[in-house]
Amino acid sequence: MASSLPLHHPTHCFVSTPKLKSFHNGWSPRPTWSFAADTKNHIRPIKATTETPSYPIFQPPQVEESPSELVPADPDFYKIGYARSMRAYGVEFKEGPDGFGVYASKDVEPLRRARVIMEIPLELMLTISQKLPWMFFPDIIPVGHPIFDIINSTNPETDWDLRLACLLLYAFDREDNFWQLYGDFLPSAEECTSLLLATEDELLELQDAKLTSTMTEQQHRAFKFWEKNWHSGVPLKIKRLAHDPERFIWAVGIAQSRCINMQVRIGALVQDVNMLIPYTDMLNHSFQPNCFLHWRFKDRMLEVMINAGQRIKKGDEMTINYLSGQQNDMFMQRYGFSSPVNPWDVIQFSGNARIHLDSFLSVFNIAGLPEEYYHNSRLSNDGDTFVDGAVLAAARTVPTWSDGDVPPIPSMERKAVKEIQEECQRMLAEFPTTSEQDQKLLDSMPEARRTLDAAIKYRLHRKLFIEKVTQALEIYQERILF
């Protein structure tokens, strides 16, 4: 679920050959397997609605639609279940430049009551519990299969991604399994933005030492797990699941970016489980989502429900928020994408300068508690588009003070703003490149590897956020102090 991570949702370094650098010995060739969807099929998607067409005389004249980069999914995409297929209501799946997405097939009005948009049979999902006694569903692993021992050797709470990756690889290998077909709609290793697949040079392009170290540790963790369990002496039924480390690391990236955590009642137990839910993982991420997601189990089906936060027109993409309250570095770790308008991004200021909080909020018409800041656009002038998620993040991260009804002193506010702006400029000067250079680099490499592209965008978004904070402080001075 990447911000098509995407979740979508959900990336630049000069690489001359498409190979993954091994952590142990040289370079290993990239495998030739691919799960890319066939985008040449232009058959109209099956609409999961049962509305009767109106009499022709009452139908409005058809309006020619402008050409779009979106390609409707093949009708078989909705019918690849075996015993039972998924059902979709009022939505359709389309593929664009960044992958699949879920789009409204009719106008959706904002209502207080949640509406069902999908029904997913439980047997189509991959589910594995987080705590002992651990269990998985569907029960596709036969007794005595070595993959069971590999999964059982992990920690259910901390190694959930490794466990789910093993189960996913086994599902790909099992004859007549749903995931053998659904895997064609998942991003291949070349299309995946997960930093687990990034090379050492690509991680350096992040220009973030902490994030680079974290991803390197995760890569080594996945590689050591593969090296331990896929050695030369393992049976062929295990070896063929992941012939090389990249295959396994790709599966771990898919598990991390498309997994959903929830509580499920299994018999008399209520278990915290990690689930790969097909079709639902096509919902992409947005920091300004138009839907809120809900779940409900009914008749061995998972009902996917949404509350529309605003009116969604026919053909508009339906988006959700993957990780509320998380910074860009967490989105990069989990999904491989970032945004310059993340309202929860943070800048670590070290100076003692402070500005008046209430004055800053009033200038930009920001209302609500700090955890729920939002822009009250009704108080803004028409055409004023400056305030976005980055300004909301500035309200949270810029050092501020508030002392009841004590008003700010203009001269003190001006001094504080200047000191904070100078610290922002020092932060920007510490980067090896500027935002303009990063943008030119992205424009010059349209065919760059997805991981390289994501890495450069991450550092670019970081600089754009700092620059936005500087601009917001300048506007604050102009509107309040002078």
Which pLDDT belongs to residue 208? 97
| pTM higher than 0.75 | yes
Which residue spans within 46-97 are E strands per DSSP?
71-72, 87-88, 91-96
Which pLDDT belongs to residue 77? 63
Which pLDDT belongs to residue 74? 66
Which pLDDT belongs to residue 82? 53
Which pLDDT belongs to residue 143? 77
Which pLDDT belongs to residue 454? 97
Stretches in the chain below the pLDDT threshold 50: 2-66
Contact 333, 211 (CB under 8 A): yes
Here the tokens at position 11 are 């990336």
Which pLDDT belongs to residue 76? 63
Residue 312 is classified by DSSP as B
Which pLDDT belongs to residue 14? 35
Which pLDDT belongs to residue 37? 41
CA of 400: how far to CAs of 326, 345, 397, 403, in Å? Answer: 21, 16, 9, 10
CB-facing half-sphere around the CA of 8: CA atoms within 13 A = 28
